[in-house]
Structure 1
Amino acid sequence: MSKITIDNTDYELDTLADEAKAQLGSLQFVDAELARLNAQTAVLQTARMAYSNALKAALPASPDGEVELMKLN
């Protein structure tokens, strides 16, 4: 039988009520979605940095030789 540990207590999955199994399934879905979104955020932050660097390279330098990008929200 499969077990799950919640708050340091082990539970047999087969003995859980249907409502508990449904809540567990929902919690697992949300955890998976959060992991997916965190991975997507990391990819998008990396892409943003690459686009920012490419933009800086494509812009003419300011008189003092520095290029500063404004923050986009």
Structure 2
Amino acid sequence: MAVRLELPVRKAVCLHCGAHVTTDFRRVYGDQDDRAHRCRSCDTLVRIREGSAAGVDARTPDPETSPGRHGCEAVGWSR
């Protein structure tokens, strides 16, 4: 009897943030196995169109690591 040690990958969730992603989103933007590495909850549409949902490094800065971009508040910025 063989014991499976790895957990199955759930396709219906984003691999980055765990948010639900639709079958159509995964089919259009995901990788070749229809898995979404990033989604609209954790990334921008621009980066998703550049391939971030398929696991490709996008040219546009990541909103999680670039403060002040894509609606985040910039540190030290005031009006």
TM-score band (shorter)? under 0.3
Q: Which has the higher contact order (CA 8 A, sep 6+)?
A: 2
Q: TM-score, normalised by structure 1?
A: 0.25
Bigger Rg over Cα: 1
